[in-house]
Amino acid sequence: MNNDQAKLFTNNIFNQLFEAKTISEVENIENHVDLFKFKMKKEDYPKIHFAIDPAKIAELKAAEIILEDGSLHELISEKITDPLTMLLYSLSWKNGDLKKVKHIVKGILDHETEDEKKDDGLTFYQFGKYLTKSKGQPIIDQHVIRAFCIHKFPDDVEIWRKTSVLNKSHKDKIIKYKNWLSTELQPELMNESEYGYHIDKVLFATGRAIKL
């Protein structure tokens, strides 16, 4: 699709989201034929049912599993005894992702505030906020922000369609998205538990569909 078609496609999705009053109606948007093949696959991203609060992080720090800056202790592998934790740690180690944990931890600790100086690891930082399951804290990734920005800032559609990794230049757009999510949807929908998670999934598919 060209840029005009991408704008029209995106605005149509947002118009449907504005009218949605229930989670079921949001899910119907995600399952539309134009979005279906771009959906977040359940086998890749099954829903997270647990929540992590700052108290759990404090426990990990007390056990010297997590350091004061939120990073993992270099000797953590000596303390792991649970087989599932071993497997997941090994996967993170092999993918070089251990250093990203500190951004998630920071997000969990900042779930009620916003660190204005935080300008790196923003996707993981926001994911940490989401993991607390606090109201108004969505997951967010490049596809979600791409769709949101094309809807809100259509003059820069070419730029947003090419945007991939989020960085500090997108921080204000992430904040604007969170404000939109908490103020501009139907009141009935915003009263639903974890409605932001379902909106995220729709915009994830939308952003993938329009990406250049």
Examine the domain organization and report whether 71 and 108 are in the same domain.
Answer: yes
Q: Which two tokens stand for residue 202?
A: 């729709």
Q: What is the pLDDT of residues 144-163, one digit of tens each?
A: 999 999 999 988 899 999 98
150 domain residue, yes or no: yes
pLDDT at 125: 95
pLDDT at 33: 75
CA distance 209 to 212: 9
Examine the domain organization and report whether 87 and 21 are in the same domain.
Answer: no
Q: Which two tokens stand for residue 47?
A: 């829903």
87 domain residue, yes or no: yes
Global pTM? 0.89
Residues in contact with 13: Cβ distance below 8 Å, sequence separation at least 6, in sequence order: 29, 35, 147, 202, 203, 206
Q: What is the pLDDT of residues 58-117, one digit of tens each?
A: 999 999 999 999 999 999 999 899 999 999 999 999 999 999 999 999 999 999 888 888
129 domain residue, yes or no: no
Examine the domain organization and report whether 85 and 144 are in the same domain.
Answer: no
pLDDT band of 194, cuts 50, 70, 90: confident
The whole domain housing 73 covers 54-113
Q: How many domains does the chain have?
A: 2
